[in-house]
Amino acid sequence: MDVLGSLAGGFATALQANNVLFLLAGCILGLIIGVLPGLGGTSGVAILLPISVYIARDNSATTAIIFLAGIYWGALFGGVVTSILFNIPGEPWAVALLFDGYPLAKRKGKPGVALASSFMASWVGALFATILLTFLAKELADVALRFGPAELFAVFVLSFATLIGLGAESPMKAVMMVAFGLLLAAIGFDTITGEPRLAFGQISLLSGIGFVPVTIGLFGIGEIIASADEAGIGYVEKIAARVGLKDILETFAALRKRIWLVIANGVIGFFFGSLPGHGATAGSFLGYGLARQWARNKEDFGKGEISGIMAPQAAADASAVGSLVPMLALGVPGSPTSAVMMAGLFIWGLQPGPLLFIDHPDFVWGLMASIYLGHLLTFLICLTAVPLLAMIMRAPHGILTPFIVIISVIGAYSLNNDMKDVAITIVFGIIGYWLRKMKYPLAPLVVALVLGDSTERELRKALIGSQGEWSVFFVSPISAILIALAVVLLALPLIGQLRRRGTAQA
Amino acid sequence: MLTALATTALIAAACGGTAQPSPTAALTAAGGTAAPTTAPTAAPVLSRPVEFVISTAPGGGSDIYARIWIAAMEKEKALSTSVLPVNKEGGAGAVAFTYVFEKKGDPHYIMVTLNSFFTTVITQKLPYKATDFTPLANMALDPFFLWVNADSTWKNAGDFVKAAQDNALTVSGTGSKQEDEVLFRRIQDLAKTKPFNYVPQSGGGAVATALAGKQGGVVVTVNNPSEGLGLYQASPPKIKPLCAFTADPIKEGAYKDLATCKSQGLDITDYFIVRAIVGPPGLTAAQTTFWADTFKKVADSADWKKFMTDNALQPNYLAGDALKKLFDDYNKLHQDIAQKNGWL
Amino acid sequence: MRPYQVATAAIFLLIAAVAMFDTRSGALPTSAAGVPGGLRGGWYPFWSGAVVAVAAIVVGAQTLRRPDTEPGVFKDRGAVLYLAKFILPMIVTTYLMSDKLLGFYVATAAYVAYYAGLVARYRWYWAVLAGIAIPLVIYLVFEVAFKALLPKSVFYPTTPF
């Protein structure tokens, strides 16, 4: 087989000593960067781009891309650590991990299982995504091209349908939070007409309210205030964050039970990532929502259910792999991180796009092989390094509490290097504390805030294309099926409720 | 604990040593290049690391250019201090512009431009003008091409114009009221077409993909050469350029012999994306010259020249009064378009 | 609990009302020329606001109908004091972090030392040590190793932070 032969050649390239060395260096640097607040894969690759220039000069462009890809994978694994241990998302797509990762670590006292779950899911999801990338990159790129605004809008509607009611005791409060999230997402420039909305003449509001600072506030700061309130000041629950052999075995058993879920999410995430501009974040939310819909124990989600960690993480990592599809097959970036990698290609004198397969096969297949190797390396490093990382958790509370506040601030600031985002984090920290107290669910608010902008944009883009005809959403079979599915998902619980009421009265 | 502290102290000392350039090194860098002109002050222009401000996210539009120049600067050893790229995304560039504007007279802040540098400042009623900034150097003009899907029956710009006069075509571009829409409004005025149905996207890659997949019925875009290259080189090609909005046909590279749109009846030859570098308002002549000379070295570097050829950029190094005139022209052009379309 | 619940719902109702008023001109789909896709910028936020408003009214009404089972929001006066001691310094610190004031590093040092010394009641030298060590480590990692800049004080570049 042609592909297998090329892949074998790729492994021969990737297994050269200097390539393995730089892959390892990249993975470790990526892990560190992923764990640091506010620095993720995108900024990590961007920060180390200048170094890659020297690597490309002294070795080859293949070594340089393997190094950068290593950073990408390392950061994907490292980004989950602060979500699970501190309730502070290190990266946008790690937001979905807050819903079950932190509860499993804190309330159920199993940080080892929570961390190991996300690492294993990452690895399995990425493995399947990489197999798809190896064999189907060009075909998938063609399919992704046909995915227009109407289809994307339908996907977002489906995401909402699977996530509504998440962690809510009162359905009306959940509805309120979803709509409030959409409202917050709308602040600032209208992306279609460029007109300001809900900015009330404030220049600082024009650029909108980003979901990362809001989420850090609602979950990270809000949680600390809440625990200060519940248990007295300075109280943060101590988590014994050690991945012991027992935890790993337990996680492995849990993974075996959920293997199809993880694989399915790997495939979904991969497809999402291959749509230019819609990367890991939307994929991880959809993965979480579908896992919850499929599960029999829906009510356990949001309270530390392992599926709620594995599904979004598998989807997120797989979509990072998928984001290489448009870069390699079409020469357009699939995600912000792959966009920076493309900048690297330009700097090393390569032209991203399909000609790479013909002109530089070593480069393409070396990169592919390094994805298999890089994920395996990162996975192994993670399992051994987590006890070290988690030493921070044993710090005394008088240090840990201000430390969490400070890393929340860094996380919010580093996104756009803007103090406005820090102010947003603090304000939403207080709002999050109060809403917790008033028993409003925060997850629907965050989901709506994250997906709100894209949903509106795709809706209106589709309507512009159809000159205002709403039938556009039903002409395309994909979008019609997805919307019908969403309606069924929304209607089912309502029907169930009515039925229960009916039998109760009879 | 003690060893850790000692190590960090060591790192700090070592890095302090490299980050703070020796004054003499900076002086030779400044003096060496500015020698032919006058060097009014003996002090070095730069005394600490420079922030290269970028108004898009990492990987977006102008970001790639800034990073390529920084890499070239390092390779050519054009500068003795380090240059740090700082992304300040948001408000269609307003966040970055305001940040640099507030650093009046400080040569340690420079910014890469794209045309939102003109449009955003005009349409958003910001308390400053694009011409308030100190223009340092223009590196290239990035042309627009007229792109259609690969299976389109249109052979040239004339076919497109005729179709656009009969029907309101769905077109796509980056952002709203920014360079792509500006160009489409100019085409509309010039060729008296029906108003275009303009679909704004989040970036140039998304625009090219929308055309390749005919998403939402998009039939035409005005992508830059670099944005469409991958899709054009795919086998079979997904999209193809009909013509270039340039004065002369493309001479070399992947788009060799692409005709001008002017030769096909669409006479726009004066609109490009300005890939330039500006500084905060109020830089002195010496500081301006220093930066202009530094970027001259980048403009002459082999890496940058290869990139320009590969991506059909028009080499156009400008500094001083010629650059000031270019900025004035573009500012006026965008002011007029905004006025005409009621974008103010 | 009940008065607080009703007040929270009322605040949401107020927010929704302001948002709907601000975007009222785009409330209805239109076929007028010059409106791409028939929806103005205000359509989406207007109807989001409308849903918030309806939900807030329903939640408020439900709260009033049901018996008030839970006691007050805060445990006691001490809890309120605790919160003030935690939240106010956090707000002041982030305000001082601006590059026109103390900057990130000085403000962080002061905050960590304050918290360790005055709230957690560590011995003063531990508090001072923590106040210096944490920003120093952050400086080395972010500023020096990864060149990710955090806001510096108004005294920069006289001081390196």
Tell me the percentage of chain A whose pLDDT exceeds 90. 41
**Tens digit of each residue's pLDDT (9 = 90 or more) over B140-158:** 999 999 999 999 999 999 9
B-chain CB neighbours of A343 within 8 Å are 59, 63-64, 67-68
Give the list of residues 6+ apart from residue C129 with CB closer than 8 angstroms, or none: none
CB-CB contact of B135 with B323 (8 Å): yes
Q: What is the pLDDT of residue B268?
A: 95
Bigger pLDDT: C5 or B4?
A: C5
Interface contact flag, C37 A456, Cβ < 8 Å: no
Between CA A77 and CA A91 the distance in angstroms is 11
For residue A231, what pLDDT is reported?
A: 64
Angstroms from B254 CA to nearest CA on chain C: 36
Domain-embedded: residue C102: yes
Whether C58 and C93 share a structural domain: no
- Per-residue model confidence (pLDDT) at position C2: 86
Query: pLDDT value at position B41?
Result: 46
Comparing A63 with A197, the larger pLDDT belongs to A63
What domain count does chain B have? 2
Residue B334 token pair: 């965008």
B137 belongs to a structural domain = yes
Tell me the average pLDDT across A49-56. 89
**Average predicted confidence (pLDDT) for chain C:** 89
Residues B190-219 pLDDT 10s: 999 999 999 998 888 889 999 999 998 999
Residues B130 and B149 placed together within one structural domain of the fold: no
Contacts of A380 (CB under 8 A, 6+ apart): none
In sequence order, the 6+-apart residues with CB closer than 8 A to the CB of A358 are none
Stretch B66-85: mean pLDDT: 89
Which of C39, C65, C91 corresponds to the end of one domain? Answer: C65
CB within 8 Å of C8: residues ≥ 6 apart: A434, A435, A438, A440
Q: Do C81 and C57 fall within a single domain?
A: no
Suggest the residue from B52, B95, B313, B341 to mutate for an interface test with chain A (most A CBs closer than 10 A).
Answer: B95
B237 and B300 co-located in one domain: no
| C152 falls within a domain | no
Q: What are phi and psi of A195, to 5 degrees?
A: -85, 145
Give the pLDDT confidence score for residue B167 in this predicted structure: 92
For residue A8, give both structure tokens: 């074998």
The whole-number pLDDT of residue A121 equals 95
Helix (H) or strand (E) holding C17: helix C2-22
- Statement to judge: residues B239 and B187 lie in one domain: yes
- Are B184 and B333 members of one domain? no
The answer to whether the pTM exceeds 0.90 is: no
* Nearest-Cα residue of chain B relative to residue A47: B85
d(CA C49, CA C62): 20
How many Cα atoms sit within 13 Å of A425 on the Cβ side?
32
Note the pLDDT of residue A81. 87
Of A303 and C17, the structure prediction assigns the larger pLDDT to C17
Locate the domains of chain A by residue range.
Answer: 2-505
For residue C16, is pLDDT > 70?
Answer: yes
Q: Is residue A242 predicted with pLDDT exceeding 70?
A: no
Rounded CA gap, B205 and A141, in Å? Answer: 14
Which residues, in sequence order, are CB contacts of C80 under 8 Å at separation 6+?
A: C74
pLDDT in tens, B76-116: 888 888 898 888 887 788 889 988 998 999 999 999 999 99
- SS3 state at B240: strand
For chain B, what is the mean pLDDT? 85
**pLDDT tens digits, A402-421:** 988 999 999 999 888 889 99
Average pLDDT over residues C110-117: 93
Query: Is residue A173 over pLDDT 60?
Result: yes
Same domain, C81 and C61: no
Q: Which domain holds residue B281?
A: 50-142+273-340
Q: Which residues pair with B147 in a beta bridge?
A: B221, B241
Chain B positions touching C144 (Cβ under 8 A) are 11-12, 15, 19
The pLDDT of residue C81: 83
- pLDDT tens digits for C66-107? 887 777 777 777 778 888 888 999 999 999 999 889 999 999
Structural domain ending residue among the three candidates B264, B294, B321: B264
Which residues of chain C from 9 to 38 reach within 8 Å of chain B, CB to CB?
A: 33-34, 36
Is residue C155 situated within a structural domain?
no
Q: How far is C111 from chain B (nearest CA, A)?
A: 21
ipTM: 0.94
The enclosing domain of B160 has a CATH number of: 3.40.190.10
Overall domain count for chain C: 2
Q: Identify the three-state secondary structure at position B105.
A: coil
pLDDT at A394: 65
pLDDT of residue B202: 82
Q: How confident is the model at residue A503 (pLDDT cuts 50, 70, 90)?
A: low
For residue B65, which of B182, B176, B204, B175 has the smallest C-alpha distance?
B204
Handedness of CA B58, B62, B64, B70 (dihedral sign): negative
Output the pLDDT for position B283. 95
Please report which confidence band the pLDDT of residue B25 belongs to, taking 50, 70 and 90 as the band edges.
very low
Q: Is residue C53 part of a domain?
A: yes
In this predicted structure, what is the pLDDT of residue B239? 96
Asked whether the predicted pLDDT for residue B172 surpasses 90, the reply is yes
Average pLDDT for chain A? 86
Q: Identify the band that residue B14 occupies on the pLDDT scale cut at 50, 70 and 90.
A: very low
pLDDT of residue B57: 81
Angstroms from B61 CA to nearest CA on chain A: 10
Instruction: Return the pLDDT at B21.
Output: 37
B150 part of contact set with chain A, CB < 8 Å? no
Q: Average the pLDDT over A127-136 and give the result.
A: 94
* Domain end residue (candidates: B210, B238, B264): B264
Last residue in a domain, options B264, B287, B316: B264
pLDDT recorded at residue B24: 35
In a domain, C118, yes or no: yes
The string over A66-78, giving b where at least 16 C-beta atoms fall within 10 Å of a residue's C-beta and e elsewhere, is: bbbbbbbbbbbbb
Tokens representing A16 are 């050269």
Q: What is the pLDDT of residues A426-472, one digit of tens each?
A: 999 999 999 998 989 998 899 899 888 889 989 999 999 888 889 99
Q: What is the pLDDT of residues A353-374, one digit of tens each?
A: 889 988 999 999 999 999 999 9
Query: Residue B117 belongs to a domain with what CATH number?
Result: 3.40.190.150
Spatial CB neighbours of A296, under 8 Å, sequence gap ≥ 6: none
Q: Which of B250, B237, B269, B258 is nearest to B309 (CA)?
A: B250
C160 domain residue, yes or no: no
Its domain, for residue C127, covers 77-145
Tokens of B220: 């035409």
Residue C74: the pLDDT is 76
pLDDT score recorded for residue B136: 97
| Residue B14 placed within a domain | no
A460: Cβ–Cβ under 8 A, 6 or more apart, which residues? A192, C36, C37, C39, C44
Helical ranges in A360-396 per DSSP H:
361-389
Mean pLDDT over A197-221 rounds to 87
**pLDDT at position C161, please?**
85
